[in-house]
A and B are shown apart, each in its own frame.
Chain A
Amino acid sequence: MISGPSNVTSGLPGLGRPISRCGIGLREPHLRHILDVLPDVPWFELLTDNYLQTNGPLLRQIDNVRRNYPLTFHGVGMSLGSADPLDEYYLTAVKHLIQRYEPAWVSDHLAFTHIGDKHFHDLLPIPYTDEALQHVSQRIEQVQDFLGQELVVENVSSYLQYKDSTYAEAEFITELVQRTGCKLLLDINNVYVNAFNHGFDAYSYLEKIPFDEVNEIHLGGHEDRGDYLLDAHNNEVTQAVWALYESVMKFHPDIPTLIEWDNALPEFDVLLRQADIANDIVIKEHNVKADNVL
Chain B
Amino acid sequence: MNLFECEKLLTDALNPLASKSLFYTARNMLENKGAMKTDERLLVYRHNISGVFIQTLASTFMTCEAILGHACFATYAREYGWSREKKTGDLNAFGEEFPAYILKQVISRHELNGYAYLADLAKLEWLIEKSRLSDDDDHNDLVNETDIVSYDPGTVYPVLTASLQLLKSQYTVFDIWQLHKQSEDRSGVFAIHDMDYLSIHRDSEDDVIIQKIDSTMFNFLTMATKGVSLLELAGDAPVKMMQCMSIAIQRGWCAGFRIDVGEPNDFY
A-to-B contact residues, CB < 8 Å: 49-50, 52-58, 60, 76-77, 79, 81-83, 87, 89-90, 93, 112-122, 124, 126-127, 129, 131-132, 135, 159-165, 196-200, 227-228, 230
Listed A/B pairs (15) with beta-carbon separation below 8 Å:
A52-B92, A57-B132, A57-B133, A57-B206, A87-B89, A117-B85, A118-B86, A120-B11, A124-B11, A126-B7, A163-B31, A164-B1, A227-B34, A227-B36, A230-B44
CB–CB B4/A122 < 8 A = no
The chain B residue sitting closest to A263, CB to CB, is B55
Q: A57 to B6, alpha carbons, bound, how many Å?
A: 41
Residues in B with CB closer than 8 Å to A163 are 29-31
If A49-B91, A114-B86, A228-B36 touch, does A127 touch B6 (CB 8 Å cutoff)? yes
Among the stretches B45-53, B112-120, B139-147, B177-185, the one at the interface with A is B45-53
If A53-B135, A126-B7, A159-B45 touch, does A196 touch B34 (CB 8 Å cutoff)? yes
CB–CB B11/A118 < 8 A = yes
> Is B90 on the interface with A (CB-CB < 8 A)?
yes
B1-31 to A contact mask, C-beta < 8 Å, 1/0: 1111011101100100000000000000111
Shortest distance between the CB of A12 and any CB in chain B (Å): 20
Shortest distance between the CB of A176 and any CB in chain B (Å): 15
CB < 8 Å: which of A77, A89, A121, A164 contacts B6?
A164
CB–CB B10/A228 < 8 A = no
CB < 8 Å: which of A53, A160, A196 contacts B45?
A160
Q: A55 to B162, alpha carbons, bound, how many Å?
A: 11
CB–CB B3/A160 < 8 A = no
Residues in A with CB closer than 8 Å to B8 are 83, 115-116
Shortest distance between the CB of B265 and any CB in chain A (Å): 31
CB–CB A227/B40 < 8 A = yes
CB–CB B34/A197 < 8 A = yes
CB–CB A116/B206 < 8 A = no
B-to-A contact residues, CB < 8 Å: 1-4, 6-8, 10-11, 14, 29-31, 33-37, 40-42, 44-45, 48-49, 52-53, 56, 82, 84-92, 94, 132-136, 202, 206
Q: A107 to B45, alpha carbons, bound, how many Å?
A: 23
Shortest distance between the CB of A75 and any CB in chain B (Å): 9
Residues in A with CB closer than 8 Å to B44 are 159, 228, 230
Residues in A with CB closer than 8 Å to B90 are 49, 52, 77, 90, 93
CB–CB B202/A161 < 8 A = no
Q: A92 to B41, alpha carbons, bound, how many Å?
A: 34
Given contacts A93-B90, A227-B34, 10 further A-B contacts (CB under 8 A): A49-B91, A52-B90, A56-B134, A115-B11, A122-B45, A122-B52, A126-B3, A165-B31, A198-B33, A227-B37
Shortest distance between the CB of A151 and any CB in chain B (Å): 17
CB–CB B45/A124 < 8 A = yes
Counting from the closest, the 10 A-B pairs by CB-CB distance are: A83-B4, A77-B89, A227-B35, A199-B33, A199-B34, A160-B41, A161-B31, A119-B86, A57-B206, A115-B7
If A131-B3, A135-B3 touch, does A160 touch B92 (CB 8 Å cutoff)? no
The chain A residue sitting closest to B41, CB to CB, is A160
CB < 8 Å: which of A93, A120, A127 contacts B49?
A120
CB–CB B29/A162 < 8 A = yes
CB < 8 Å: which of B4, B34, B52 contacts A228?
B34
CB–CB A118/B85 < 8 A = yes
Q: A131 to B94, alpha carbons, bound, how many Å?
A: 32
